A and B are shown apart, each in its own frame.
Chain A
Amino acid sequence: MPEDKNRFSPKIAAFCCFHSAYLAADSAGAMRKSYSDGVYIIRVPCAGKVEGLHILQAFEKGADGVLILACPQESCHYISGNIRAKKRVDYILRFLEEIGIEPERLKLFNLASNQAPRFVQVVNEMAERIKDLGPSPIKAGVIGR
């Protein structure tokens, strides 16, 4: 559960496509489902809008993990946005290894606007995974901001 005092509290930047994950998150709220409070939702109109720059910036600014949450395949509101998001995430994953960030810290998931339980499952599992990995290795290296 999120209030575990024994492990560090991960900060996760969750880029949420408004038409899918953002609405699913709202639904999870209406159902009063609990999830890790280290998850910060950044609203985007489409997962395809999230650039490599934004993902790396998130890590730079102190995210321990980054999630990109997109519409299910073949159901993107803007037709091809989720495909582009996947390509971009795959591209950035190759960089992460080179700069010493574990690839498990960046993940893309597909879900629909009415899949509140899946939203909760995905973010909670990510939070657990990040807790096991520990704080992002970048945080130690960044001096001031």
Chain B
Amino acid sequence: MEKKRVLVIGGGIAGVTSALELAKNGREIFLVEREPSIGGHAASFCCKATDVCNKCSVCLVPERMKEVGIHPQISLLTTSEVREINGEAGDFRVKIVRKTRFVDPDRCTACGICSEVCPVESPKAISLPYPGVVPPAFVVDKDRCLRLQGQECTICQEKCPTGAINFDQGPQEIDLDVEAIIVANGFDVFDAREKAPLGYGKYPNVLTGLDMEERFLKEGEILLPSNGRPPQDVAFIQCVGSRDEHIGNGYCSKICCKYAMRFSRLLQYQNPEVKVTVFYMDLQTAGKGFGEFYEQCKESIRFVQGIPVEISQVSPDQLAVRYEDLSQGKTVEESHDLVVLSVGITPRKDARNLAGILGVNLGDFGFFDGLTQIENTSTNREGIFLAGCCQGPRDIPESIAHGTLAALRAVRTLT
């Protein structure tokens, strides 16, 4: 059987799932990823299990990434973006621009010598983005690398044992012929700085859900940025950037209630003395097994129905959270030492640009538009499909399911 080829745009969990499903059915896939490594946002999320799994499926992401990395039918094109698409279903001609990454992932063995000899410190200007990265190759930080700032340094290039580093490498243009395209370029995390009264970026002890993920993944715990000590009294604020008509995000981001509750349980598992409060609008507790999880949370976590409007700093290690206590009918101010803003999912800032290149419509709130509510992996353009959060907020199991469905539809174009 002649191998039919599919282009998947985006190497997050949805794109990776689509690629693997198609590969399992004997197809050949080009997976184009803008960043130097695949995995998307979920690759930087942490496990929030206590002794009991929380069913978030984050652990599946590195596994799938690895499968893609070694799969003979999947070609990874990292630091690459789609520039132009011509043709139609069954015969798309795609122009890809592969930006310079200076380190050739096919030659790099992740030995780490370049990082050791790099004269720039804390952090180094060349490093492995994180363990388990796919492809397993080092990445140059364009803002910190001396050579890229115009200086003479080429130490890493000289010391690299495989000659994988080349600062003179320029961007490449690649032409691909494919039969179908799956768009899976994911989402942007809501920028909490847009909600200035909540103090993100101003007060060190105000973090976002994403900050928490990254710290837990690296260190396995959270310490107060202000003094390096474990927090004693944590507040989670839900719906930051979601269910908010004022900023045009009139939808529920779906993942935030769950991750806040999972973090809350994890914090208390690590330190039973820690106080946790969750400020919410409507708790989203539907989901397999989640009702029982919430019942357990209720025992030791304080849930307050009301979203705080302002956070201020009382002292370097103490924050004041002001909210309307609906049950008392008045404004209350209480102190916490760590505040976590549960930021939501927003469409990619460059979604419009990519939609233009693809000739695909954007829908509600700027996400890619599914053809109908039922056929939401198909688009207005035949042969082009959608997978994952680029079409709307989803959690990891749903992104995996959606990626599977996109593959199912894409296969129809091929057979």
Contact = CB atoms under 8 A, between A and B. Distances in A.
Give the interface SS of chain B, mostly helix, strand, loop or mixed: loop
5 contacts: A23-B62, A26-B132, A72-B49, A112-B59, A114-B59
A134 to B, nearest CB: 29
A115 B51 CA distance: 12
A99 interface: no
A47 to B, nearest CB: 13
B53 A114 contact: no
Given A27-B131, A27-B132, A30-B128, A117 B221 contact: yes
Between A73, A117, A121, the greatest number of chain B beta carbons within 10 A of the residue's beta carbon is seen for: A117
Given A31-B218, A75-B55, A113 B49 contact: no
B219 interface: yes
A111 B59 CA distance: 11
A74 B59 contact: no
Contacts of A74: 52-53, 55
B53 A72 contact: yes
A121 B219 CA distance: 10
A110 interface: yes
B47 A30 contact: no
Given A114-B58, A115-B46, 14 more contacts: A23-B62, A30-B131, A72-B49, A73-B52, A74-B52, A75-B55, A111-B49, A112-B53, A113-B47, A113-B62, A114-B46, A117-B218, A120-B220, A121-B220
B245 to A, nearest CB: 37
Nearest to B45: A114
Interface string A101-120: 00000000011111111101
A114 B131 CA distance: 10
B49 A112 contact: yes
Contacts of B58: 114
B220 A114 contact: no
B49 A115 contact: yes
Interface string A16-44: 00000001001101110000000000000
Contacts of A71: 53
